[in-house]
Amino acid sequence: MASVLVVEDDQFVRSALIRHLTEAAHAVRSVGTALEALREVAQVGFDVVVLDLGLPDLDGAEALKMLRGITDVPVIIATARDDEAEIVRLLHAGADDYLVKPFSVAHLSARMAAVLRRTRAGEFGGGSGEGAGDGVLRVGGLVVDPLRRMAQLDGTVLALTRREFDLLAFLAGRPGVVVPRKELLAEVWQQSYGDDQTIDVHLSWLRRKLGETAARPRYLHTLRGVGVKLEPPQGGGGPG
């Protein structure tokens, strides 16, 4: 069972989604505007949000951007726009999945289950990093606990977004290994295609929280044209 927020202004579609998701044992709340959705998400914890793009007050893409400013809750886009460029843009903007209307509730339920499997604890458990026996990954002063979705650097808890944590945990499970960008897109973003900017932006945010820069890396090292690796600092870090 999952707690679901349905953001849909079409009353007929909204009622059908509520009925079928409730019959599938999900706890469902619904709103018809983007601003109502933002208020609900800020006040109530949800497992997943189903977001229609054609809302009366804000375009769904703008609503997604605002949602991402306050929460990392998984968002599945419901859209009538069967345009690949638009879908790719939404995935880069923070959507976790999408469905093109019309779709069946069974299809939605399957997508929800897949998204929740990826985001719930243990997605990256059992990696090859030090401490993998207890599920905790240790690389130098960095400690990543995939089960509790917590990360610490030199004893200080890191405030990471869901995607930043997923990226860090994936790399921490393979210390010293250069991971190709294509593999990062497939395993962390669950995408078979995309551009390097998506990875670069998240690496930049992650570096900032690790107290380093691309010019002076400590843990995260980019090998141009090859991939990214995470390893313990070597003598205080240097160009990588």
Residue 194 has pLDDT above 70, yes or no: no
- DSSP code, position 158: P
Query: What percent of the chain is predicted at pLDDT more than 90?
Result: 26
Q: What is the mean pLDDT of the chain?
A: 83
pLDDT tier at 192, thresholds 50, 70, 90:
low
Q: Which CATH superfamily is domain 3-119 in?
A: Response regulator (3.40.50.2300)
Fold that domain 132-230 belongs to in CATH? Arc Repressor Mutant, subunit A (1.10.10)
How far apart are the C-alpha atoms of 207 and 194, rounded to whole Å? Answer: 21
Choose between 47 and 197: higher pLDDT.
47
List where CATH 3.40.50.2300 sits in the chain. 3-119
Residues with Cβ within 8 Å of 181's Cβ and at least 6 positions away in sequence, in order, are: 196, 199, 227, 228
Question: How far does CA 116 lie from the centroid of its chain?
Answer: 11
Quick check: helix, strand or coil at residue 33? Answer: coil
pLDDT tier at 193, thresholds 50, 70, 90:
low
Q: What pLDDT was estimated at residue 134?
A: 52
Q: What pLDDT was estimated at residue 127?
A: 44
Beta bridge partners of 138: 130, 143
Q: What pLDDT was estimated at residue 171?
A: 93
Choose between 234 and 15: higher pLDDT.
15
How far apart are the C-alpha atoms of 199 and 72, rounded to whole Å? Answer: 17
Q: What pLDDT was estimated at residue 72?
A: 81
Q: Are 30 and 55 in contact (CB under 8 A)?
A: no
Residue 228 has pLDDT above 90, yes or no: yes
SS3 content of the chain, % helix, strand, coil (to 5): 40, 20, 40
Mean pLDDT over residues 25-29, rounded? 89
pLDDT in tens, 66-75: 888 888 888 9
Closest CA to 25 of 57, 1, 59: 1
pLDDT tier at 33, thresholds 50, 70, 90:
very high
pLDDT in tens, 123-173: 444 444 444 445 788 999 999 988 788 899 998 988 888 888 889 999 999
Query: What percent of the chain is predicted at pLDDT more than 70?
Result: 88
Mean pLDDT over residues 197-220, rounded? 89
pLDDT tier at 240, thresholds 50, 70, 90:
very low
Residue with tokens 């808890």: 157
Q: Could you tell me the two tokens for 144?
A: 């990543």
Q: What pLDDT was estimated at residue 80?
A: 81
List where CATH 1.10.10.10 sits in the chain. 132-230
Q: Could you tell me the two tokens for 146?
A: 């995939």
